[in-house]
Amino acid sequence: MAIIERPAPTASVSLRAPVTPAQSMGIVRRPVTSTGWKSWVFTVDHKKIGIMYGVFAMFFFIVGGVEALLIRLQLATPDGKILSADLYNQMFTMHATTMIFLFAMPMAAAFANYFLPLQLGARDVAFPRLNALGLWLLVAGGLILNASWFLGGAADGGWFMYSPNSGPVFSPSNGVDFWTLGVQIAGFGSLIGSINLIVTILNMRAPGMTLMKMPVFCWMILVVQFLLVFSLPVITVALVLLTFQRSFGATFFDVAQGADPLLWQHLFWIFGHPEVYVLILPAFGIISEVLPTFSRKPLFGYPFVVFSGASIGLVGFGVWSHHMFATGLGPISVAAFSIATMAIAIPTGVKIFNWTLTMWGGKIWYSTAMKFAIGLIVLFTIGGLSGVTHAVAPSDTQQTDTYYIVAHFHYVLFGGMVFGLFSGFYYWWPKVFGKMLNEKLGGWNFWLMVIGMNMTFGPMHILGLQGQPRRMYVWTEARAGEGFFNFGFWNRVASFGSLILAIGVLLFLINVVHTTRKGKPAPLDPWDARTLEWITTSPPKEHNFDRIPVVHHLDDFFHRKYQEDATTGAMVQIATGEQLVRDEEANADAHIHLPSPSYWPIAIAIGVGTLGMGVVYGVPIMIVGVLIILGSSFGFVLEPSVADDIDYDPPMSGGQETKELAPLG
């Protein structure tokens, strides 16, 4: 549904463009239904795309979680029998790959897609169809990655897939082929998405919203998209080299020919280190929205939070070799990367400081969203501190490839990123679905996750320092050691903790089901929030805003509700959120016009997926893929951004419809 009709001034009728069926150019009539599955599959609405990203990511969060539980179950007892060595390798590889590429990045993309236009005061992103293309490429990549389970075994080289271990000699199944292609295609989707979101942030802000009046969440997403746009091509190169080696017999990582296996490590980590900031910065952005709202105070030191985020992004490109301290880089490289890595702790510390001072002296409302945000600050700080111990190269040399590393990155990723995302779920659920998540269940959800995560990953510090290597598929009682440092004891604690953690996550899912069925409708402004996404209905209308807001302040919504009292200097409420929304509705724009749905994004993604499968299963399939891509690209290019009258069923009558042709989009 492309057009929101309102009574129109008569002048527009005479200026209606002479749009003819020939201009629509499609071989088939465009999809224009606004209900049913078609309205989702062919949609270009950023909110629907955001929800689909979220559903996709949540599904794979569960898949990755089950993989993790199998790993912990295997290690819960000596001589574990749950998984074979081979299956164990596949399990930890796919656990990491799934969690990073199919949960964390898509979930961040879900939040970014849904809330960027709303926070910026826009009606959609800059390139709505490319937005859909990014989603469907991710789906294609995710399907190819996981198809490997059923087609001869999944990838088994660890998520960083070091060569030559990932070459055809040591990893003969097709698993690694599916892995490279799946990551490649999902990465391609991310690249398109990141270009789209950068242009959206830079170009689609509401009138008056300067960059320094943008919510911190938008800033962090901007930094993340820059990281993606400049790091994804590097992993693309690495994956291409590996694919060519495995599928076409190239020699890039063939040591017998004189190849340098470190080439892969460099290429991977030039991408891989910015990638870890890609994972954490959206969570930082989310809690930078949540903390001020529930502390009833503006964010402390907004410019510092913004610029520390940007500098984390920039310095993040210069520290990749700290993943390779144990490879013998030479003293100069190690020293330089060690110092750069320590330097990155500074902007991160600035952020922790600012969040803490945001809460200082505030009237804190311990909602579930706030609890998760505080949880992030505490748990991420623990993970950050163990991270600093890796920056010290001599200490890192001891810790490399032990459980200490596993403990570190789960504290920053689970304690940091996942807690940030959950904070976002509780904060924004009423906005997206119009119903409040149950706060009581939310409390249980939070505390079980805190206890579970500390029980699971805390003992791994001890295990790692005692020398348990990561990726060890079995431990034996005879060699487990004695007393406080007994491997067996701490492995059992970790496995038990993972069950608690799983129950915590399960409670969230139960909460979602409960809320969907029986949840009470959310008030328009349940948290007394600060940013523009709350100045519209919940869930937002298809066109987001009845009237494009004109921005005067950072936290504009807050400043519309509250004004400084001239005598006391206190902030006094002058309007409620409901009043503001009603006011917007009363002054709604006429003739709001949105981009039309399209078949072509998903068609192109199908073509790319086919091409990917062709790399494994032969040239004829590749050719089919290329033909699909070519054909649907022509469809994509030749269709105007808005459907013609004739494409509607029943056809729209001429007269007051709005017709506009947007650039490529």
Partner 1 sequence: MTHRCLVAKKRKSWHPLDDVAVLTSHDTGHDTGNGHSTSTGLSNNKMAMWLFLGSECLLFGGLISTYMLYRGRITQGPRPSQIFDIPFTSVSSFVLLMSSLTMVLAVTSAQRKDNERTKLWLTITALLGATFVGGQVYEFTAFYNEGLGFTTNLFSSSFYTLTGFHGVHVTVGVIMLLSLRGIISANKDTGDRAEVVELIGLYWHFVDIVWIIIFTLVYLIPA
Partner 2 sequence: MNATATDTHEQHDSHAPGLSDATAIKIALILAAMTALEVSTYYVDFGAFFMPVLMVLMVVKFFTVVSYFMHLKFEHQMFKLLFYTGLGLALFVYFVALATFKFFS
Contact set with partner 2 (CB under 8 A): 202, 205, 207, 209-211, 226, 229-230, 234, 260, 262-263, 266-267, 270, 317-318, 320-321, 329-330, 333
Residues near 568 by beta carbon (within 8 Å), at least 6 away in sequence: none
Task: Between 339 and 574, name the residue whose CB sits nearer to partner 2.
Answer: 339
In angstroms, give the least distance from the CB of 263 to partner 2: 8
**Partner touching 514 among partner 1, partner 2, none, CB below 5 to 8 Å by kind:** none
Binding mask 354-393 for partner 1 (x = CB under 8 A): ----------------------------------------
Q: Which of 61, 92, 127, 269 binds partner 1 (CB under 8 A)?
A: 127
Binding mask 33-72 for partner 1 (x = CB under 8 A): ----------------------------------------
In angstroms, give the least distance from the CB of 544 to partner 1: 8
Do 34 and 648 form a contact (C-beta atoms < 8 A)? no
Binding mask 605-644 for partner 1 (x = CB under 8 A): -------------------------x---x--xxxxx---
In angstroms, give the least distance from the CB of 663 to partner 1: 4
Q: Amino acid letter at 19? A: V
Helix (H) or strand (E) holding 212: none
With b for 16 or more beta-carbon neighbours within 10 A and e for fewer, the 563-593 pattern comes to eeeeeeeeeeeeeebeebbeebeeeeeebbb
Residues 84-123, interacting with partner 1 (CB under 8 A): 120-123
In angstroms, give the least distance from the CB of 158 to partner 1: 21
- What span, in angstroms and rounded, lies between the C-alpha atoms of 449 and 153? 32
Residues near 104 by beta carbon (within 8 Å), at least 6 away in sequence: 57, 279, 413, 417, 421
- What span, in angstroms and rounded, lies between the C-alpha atoms of 170 and 655? 68
Listed ranges 30-38, 178-186, 619-627, 655-663: which one lies at the site for partner 1 (CB under 8 A)? 655-663
- What span, in angstroms and rounded, lies between the C-alpha atoms of 63 and 95? 8
Given CA atoms 158, 161, 162, 164 in this order, what sign does their dihedral have? positive
Question: Which pair of structure tokens corresponds to residue 452?
Answer: 């579970």
Residue 564 sits at φ, ψ, to 5 deg, of -75, 130
- What span, in angstroms and rounded, lies between the C-alpha atoms of 452 and 448? 6
In angstroms, give the least distance from the CB of 2 to partner 1: 10
Binding mask 166-205 for partner 1 (x = CB under 8 A): -------------------------x---xx-xx--xxxx
Q: Is 314 in the site for partner 1 (CB under 8 A)?
A: no
Task: Between 30 and 461, name the residue whose CB sits nearer to partner 1.
Answer: 30
Task: Between 274 and 420, name the residue whose CB sits nearer to partner 2.
Answer: 274
Residues 201-230, interacting with partner 1 (CB under 8 A): 202-207, 209, 229-230
**Partner touching 317 among partner 2, partner 1, none, CB below 5 to 8 Å by kind:** partner 2
CA dihedral defined by 534, 537, 539, 540, rounded to 10 degrees? Answer: -80
Nearest of 413, 407, 420 to residue 461 by alpha carbon: 407
In angstroms, give the least distance from the CB of 133 to partner 1: 13
Task: Between 17 and 572, name the residue whose CB sits nearer to partner 1.
Answer: 17
**Partner touching 320 among partner 2, partner 1, none, CB below 5 to 8 Å by kind:** partner 2
Find the angle CA(466)-CA(470)-CA(471) to the nearest 5 degrees: 140
In angstroms, give the least distance from the CB of 637 to partner 2: 22
Task: Between 354 and 536, name the residue whose CB sits nearer to partner 1.
Answer: 536
- What span, in angstroms and rounded, lies between the C-alpha atoms of 592 and 597? 16
Give the DSSP per-residue string, 311-370: HHHHHGGG-GGGGGGGG---HHHHHHHHHHHHHHHHHHHHHHHHHHHHHTTS-----HHH
Task: Between 195 and 342, name the residue whose CB sits nearer to partner 1.
Answer: 195
Q: Which of 75, 118, 223, 259 binds partner 1 (CB under 8 A)?
A: 259
Please name every residue paired with 571 in a beta bridge, in sequence order, or none if there are none. 564
**Partner touching 57 among partner 2, partner 1, none, CB below 5 to 8 Å by kind:** none
Residue 621 sits at φ, ψ, to 5 deg, of -65, -35
